[in-house]
Structure 1
């Protein structure tokens, strides 16, 4: 099979998605003809933004059909043998030094600890479910803290790795198909809600699976971030065609309320800004057939971006690169 035939075979069938998922208003084009420079999914993609003054949701239109979305994850980072994102040897050394330096200079060590544990490190361990567990790295971390963990994943390659290599049980399939006899004390979603076609249904399932007073914790890219304002169409958080919806704090809170959650808290964080700045490129010159090479220039960009975003967050609490939401089932 030649290259052209291979690309044609892997093209993703799409469906129209013209109106806002949250308020039903029509959208206007925000970006056109974006490509997947990170993992090489064929095709060009456009984003729309809600015209409603009180909304701000951003979404992919057209978007991959549910039956086709798996093609966008064939070379994803959750696959053990994915080699589509690489670093030069000098970039690897520089990142280790500068990333550690930025954590120290900005006093991020304590916040980074909370972040890596999904802000549950001060909670007494219980039963925990991670929705979209990927390669299971976070589940292993939570298990080490004493949590009784389980994962959910729709990607069979990732699910197999977690169950076979890490020994952690995984439900393979949509969350809506998971039925349990004992509910969970915590359900966590790290960079998952933006990937799903029906995020409200997903959160309603999270609500069903939680005990009374159980906690839901969500991390997702913040479309209102300083990074999106700075980098625009090449901001790392867009990630077409896998990111179907991009939220701000307001839209994320509204979605959780619709799903039945209360005692809601939401904020933004810049703790992961180094990686966002590093991978937000001003051109696709570093990408070739989806093999994106991180250079020392990218690392420097990530370092300075981390410093700047930390300062801006002091004055604008909504400017962090990620939204965090904690909600309780009552």
Structure 2
């Protein structure tokens, strides 16, 4: 693997990291990988674990999150036609599962962060702490909303996911896309690199190649249009731009406009099913 670029943890530690390119899989790998990742999530501002609504950025995130929940459920319903048993990995504070449950799904969620599990429990959604707690079970739908990039031991995690999926089930994965315009524009300041919490940085090719040996194929790819704006907003703040709102809007807009032609949006949702 060769060095792609150098960046740092803008969010918690300020530590320097490198991204190396795996040419075979067409993906980037964060180096070095910390032996203990838990401290890098210990922040009152880590929004997916706290439901924070203190800053303008937090409020914007929560507003769009609320609008996206039903859309995520609809994506699953469009893909399955029998019993609705759903596993969500990296369930955060449980809002997606709560929405899915209201739509008739039988739900199980896994979230390793204790703070996030506690917050979900306060909403009435009990979450498990480890994938080991669901081993041996099978699910019609498995979702990872911006989670796969966080998981260590990637190949082992992929095998575990496949083993949990029913033969006619659907696996839905949302991840940032390092080939988007906003990624190329911001380079080391691109917020979706989010090192070292993001260990892997995917392209369309890498997702296809990772799951192909397990006879899972990508049947559809859907864009996440808002991510270009949100990621650009964070990236501008990392750059120290006091006019970050205006700059982020135009970069996010241009990223989405170019993606109409390139199909390389800031984040992508991959829908995978087993080959017949």
TM-score of the superposition, structure 2-length normalised? 0.85
Asked if 1:184 corresponds to 2:139, the answer is yes
Query: Gapped runs of 5+ residues in structure 2?
Result: none
Shift of the 283–209 alpha-carbon distance from structure 1 to 2, 3 Å rule, reads closer
Counterpart for residue 324 of structure 1: 269
Counterpart for residue 113 of structure 2: 155
Matches within 5 A, 1:136-285: 136-162=94-120, 164-173=121-130, 175-181=131-137, 183-262=138-217, 264-266=219-221, 268-281=223-236, 283-285=238-240
Shift of the 201–55 alpha-carbon distance from structure 1 to 2, 3 Å rule, reads closer
Asked if 1:87 corresponds to 2:56, the answer is yes
Q: CA deviation at 1:180?
A: 4.5
Report Cα offsets for 1:24-81 as digits up to 9, x if no partner. xxx222222x33222x22522121123x3x542111111111xx11111111223338
Asked if structure 2 preserves the Cα contact closer than 8 Å seen for 1:204 and 1:260, the reply is no
Q: CA deviation at 1:171?
A: 1.7
Counterparts of 1:118 and 1:255, CA distance in 2: 26
Report Cα offsets for 1:162-206 as digits up to 9, x if no partner. 2x2122232212x2452255x211000011111111222222212
Asked if structure 1 preserves the Cα contact closer than 8 Å seen for 2:178 and 2:203, the reply is yes
Asked if structure 1 preserves the Cα contact closer than 8 Å seen for 2:28 and 2:201, the reply is yes
Q: CA deviation at 1:126?
A: 0.4
Asked if structure 2 preserves the Cα contact closer than 8 Å seen for 1:270 and 1:309, the reply is no
SS at match of 1:79: helix
Counterpart for residue 41 of structure 2: 73
Report Cα offsets for 1:270-328 as digits up to 9, x if no partner. 34221111111275437xxxxxxxx6x322233223321222122111x2011221111
SS at match of 1:78: helix
Q: CA deviation at 1:159?
A: 1.9
Query: Gapped runs of 5+ residues in structure 1?
Result: 1-26, 101-108, 287-294
- Over aligned residues, Cα RMSD in angstroms? 2.9
Shift of the 202–150 alpha-carbon distance from structure 1 to 2, 3 Å rule, reads same
Counterparts of 1:264 and 1:176, CA distance in 2: 28
Counterparts of 2:141 and 2:85, CA distance in 1: 7
Which one has the largest radius of gyration?
A: 1
Which is helix-richer, 1 or 2? 2
SS at match of 1:280: helix
TM-score of the superposition, structure 1-length normalised? 0.72
Counterpart for residue 36 of structure 1: 9
Counterpart for residue 120 of structure 1: 76
SS at match of 2:157: helix
Shift of the 156–258 alpha-carbon distance from structure 1 to 2, 3 Å rule, reads farther
Counterparts of 1:131 and 1:113, CA distance in 2: 15
Asked if structure 2 preserves the Cα contact closer than 8 Å seen for 1:114 and 1:120, the reply is no
Q: How many pairs does the alignment contain?
A: 268
